Amino acid sequence: EGVYSSEESMDGLWVNKFAPSRYTHLLSDEGVNRSLLRWLKLWDKVVFGRDFHPKKPTEQKSFNKDKQKTSEHFNKFKKTETTTEEEDVRELDSTNRPKLKTALLCGPPGLGKTTLAHIIAKHAGYHVVEMNASDDRSAETFQHKLEQTTQMKSVLGSDQRPNCLIIDEIDGAPKVWGRKESYAAKLNGNFTLQAAINILLNTLNKGKGNEKKKARKSKKTATGVLMRPIICICNDLYVPALRLLRQQSYILHFPPTTSARLASRLGQMCRVQSLDCDLSSLLALCDKSGNDIRTCINTLQFIQSTGTTRVQMATVKSLNIGQKDQHKSIFHVWNEIFQLPKNQRKMDKDSQTVQQQMLEGQKVSQFSTRFYHILNLVLSGGEYEKTLQGVYDNFLLMKFKNSGMTAINKSFEWLLLADRINRHVMSIQEWVLHRYTPYIFVMFHLLFACITPPKISFSQTESEKTQKSGNLLESMFLDMAPSTRCFTSQSTAVLDLLPHLLAIMMPNFRPVNMLLYSSNEKLQLRDLVQSLLAYNLTYRQERNEDGQYIYVMEPNLTEVCHFVEPLEGAKKQLPYAIKQIIAKEVETERMRRSERILMKHDTTEKQAESSNKPVVPNHMQRLSHNISNSVAPEKPVVNFFSRFTKVKKVRENTKQSANKEPIIDPGIGCSQLWYKYNEGVSNAVRCTVYIKDLL
Partner 1 sequence: MGDFPHLLFYGPSGAGKKTRIMCLLREVYGPGIEKLRIEKHNFVTPSKKKLEIATLSSNYHIEVTPSDAGLHDRVVVQELIKTVAQSQQLESKTQKRFKVIVLTEVDRLTKDAQHALRRTMEKYMATCRLILYCNSSSKVIPAIQSRCLAVRVAAPSVDDITKILTTVTKKEGLSLSPELAKRIAMKSKRNLRRALLMCETCRVQQSSLSADQPIMEPDWELYLRETANMIVSEQSPRRLLDIRHRIYELLTKCIPTDAIMRGLYKELVHNCDGALKTELSQLAADYEHKSHLGQKQIYHLEAFVAKFMMIYKQFIEEGLDEMMF
Taking the complex as a whole, the smallest distance from the CB of residue 369 to partner 1 amounts, in Å, to 27
DSSP letter string over 28-92?
Answer: S-HHHHHHHHHHHHTTHHHHT-----PPPTT--GGGGTTSS---GGGGGS---S-HHHHHHHH-B
Taking the complex as a whole, the smallest distance from the CB of residue 463 to partner 1 amounts, in Å, to 9
Question: Exactly one of 4, 52, 74, 477 binds partner 1 (CB under 8 A); which one?
Answer: 477
Is 482 a binder of partner 1 (CB under 8 A)? yes
Is 347 a binder of partner 1 (CB under 8 A)? no
Tell me which stretch binds partner 1 (CB under 8 A): 213-221, 413-421, 612-620, 660-668: 413-421
Question: Exactly one of 105, 165, 377, 497 binds partner 1 (CB under 8 A); which one?
Answer: 497
The backbone torsions φ and ψ at residue 192, rounded to the nearest 5 degrees and listed phi first, read -65, -35
Question: Exactly one of 152, 314, 340, 416 binds partner 1 (CB under 8 A); which one?
Answer: 416
Instruction: Indicate the residue among 445 and 648 with the shorter CB distance to partner 1.
Output: 445
What single DSSP character describes residue 360? T
Taking the complex as a whole, the smallest distance from the CB of residue 400 to partner 1 amounts, in Å, to 6
The backbone torsions φ and ψ at residue 552, rounded to the nearest 5 degrees and listed phi first, read -115, 155
- Cβ–Cβ under 8 Å, residues 562 and 494: no
End-to-end CA gap in the chain: 98
The backbone torsions φ and ψ at residue 416, rounded to the nearest 5 degrees and listed phi first, read -65, -35
Is 486 a binder of partner 1 (CB under 8 A)? yes
Binding mask 426-455 for partner 1 (x = CB under 8 A): xx-x--------------------------
Whole-angstrom Cα Rg for the chain: 41
Taking the complex as a whole, the smallest distance from the CB of residue 458 to partner 1 amounts, in Å, to 15
Binding mask 564-593 for partner 1 (x = CB under 8 A): x--xx-------------------------
Residues 508 to 537 in contact with partner 1, rule: CB under 8 A: 508, 520, 524
d(CA 652, CA 86): 83
Kindly give, in sequence order, each residue whose CB lies less than 8 Å from that of residue 329, ignoring residues fewer than 6 positions away.
none
Instruction: Indicate the residue among 530 and 688 with the shorter CB distance to partner 1.
Output: 530
Tell me which stretch binds partner 1 (CB under 8 A): 155-163, 278-286, 424-432, 608-616: 424-432
Sheet with 127-131, edge to edge strand ranges: 127-131, 163-167, 230-234, 102-106, 249-253
Binding mask 544-563 for partner 1 (x = CB under 8 A): ----------------xxxx
d(CA 219, CA 196): 30
Question: Exactly one of 13, 215, 433, 504 binds partner 1 (CB under 8 A); which one?
Answer: 504
Beta bridge mates, 129: 165
Contacts of 455-462 with C-beta under 8 Å, sequence gap 24+, read: 455/397, 456/331, 456/334, 456/335, 456/338, 456/390, 456/394, 457/393, 457/394, 458/330, 458/331, 458/334, 458/389, 458/390, 458/393, 458/394, 459/393
Give the total of residues touching partner 1 (CB under 8 A).
60
Taking the complex as a whole, the smallest distance from the CB of residue 436 to partner 1 amounts, in Å, to 15
Tell me which stretch binds partner 1 (CB under 8 A): 346-354, 375-383, 494-502, 620-628: 494-502
- Taking each continuous run of H as one helix and of E as one strand, the counts in the chain are 31, 11
Quick one: three-class SS letters along 372-407? HHHHHHHHHHCCHHHHHHHHHHHHHHCCCCCCCHHH
Taking the complex as a whole, the smallest distance from the CB of residue 383 to partner 1 amounts, in Å, to 16
Q: What angle do CA 375, 378, 381 make, to 5 degrees?
A: 150
Instruction: Indicate the residue among 278 and 419 with the shorter CB distance to partner 1.
Output: 419
Tell me which stretch binds partner 1 (CB under 8 A): 27-35, 159-167, 483-491, 584-592: 483-491
Is 52 a binder of partner 1 (CB under 8 A)? no
Instruction: Indicate the residue among 503 and 687 with the shorter CB distance to partner 1.
Output: 503
Residue 117 has, within 13 A of its CA and on its CB side, a CA count of 27
Question: Exactly one of 380, 422, 628, 671 binds partner 1 (CB under 8 A); which one?
Answer: 422
Taking the complex as a whole, the smallest distance from the CB of residue 395 to partner 1 amounts, in Å, to 9
Tell me which stretch binds partner 1 (CB under 8 A): 132-140, 270-278, 322-330, 502-510: 502-510
Is 487 a binder of partner 1 (CB under 8 A)? yes
Question: Exactly one of 501, 534, 668, 695 binds partner 1 (CB under 8 A); which one?
Answer: 501
Residues 456 to 475 in contact with partner 1, rule: CB under 8 A: 462, 465-466, 468-470, 473
Question: Exactly one of 63, 74, 400, 641 binds partner 1 (CB under 8 A); which one?
Answer: 400
Taking the complex as a whole, the smallest distance from the CB of residue 448 to partner 1 amounts, in Å, to 10
Is 631 a binder of partner 1 (CB under 8 A)? no
Question: Exactly one of 405, 432, 570, 691 binds partner 1 (CB under 8 A); which one?
Answer: 405
Is 406 a binder of partner 1 (CB under 8 A)? yes
d(CA 238, CA 222): 33
Instruction: Indicate the residue among 269 and 528 with the shorter CB distance to partner 1.
Output: 528
d(CA 79, CA 687): 93
What are the residue ranges of helices labelled H in 290-365? 293-305, 313-318, 330-338, 344-350, 352-359
Instruction: Indicate the residue among 48 and 392 with the shorter CB distance to partner 1.
Output: 392
Instruction: Indicate the residue among 50 and 572 with the shorter CB distance to partner 1.
Output: 572
Is 495 a binder of partner 1 (CB under 8 A)? yes
Taking the complex as a whole, the smallest distance from the CB of residue 568 to partner 1 amounts, in Å, to 7
Instruction: Indicate the residue among 226 and 560 with the shorter CB distance to partner 1.
Output: 560
d(CA 47, CA 221): 12
Question: Exactly one of 396, 433, 450, 638 binds partner 1 (CB under 8 A); which one?
Answer: 396
Number of CB atoms found within 10 A of residue 535's CB: 22
DSSP letter string over 489-529?
Answer: -HHHIIIIIHHHHHHHTS----SS-GGG--HHHHHHHHHHH
Number of CB atoms found within 10 A of residue 203's CB: 20
Q: What burial class does residue 390 get, using C-beta atoms within 10 Å of its C-beta: 0-12 exposed, 13-18 middle, 19+ buried?
A: buried
Is 218 a binder of partner 1 (CB under 8 A)? no
d(CA 138, CA 68): 43
Is 657 a binder of partner 1 (CB under 8 A)? no
The residues of the shown chain that bind partner 1, judged by CB under 8 A, are 392, 396-397, 400, 403-406, 408-409, 412-413, 415-416, 419-420, 422-423, 426-427, 429, 462, 465-466, 468-470, 473, 477-478, 482-483, 485-487, 489-492, 494-497, 499-501, 503-504, 506-508, 520, 524, 560-564, 567-568
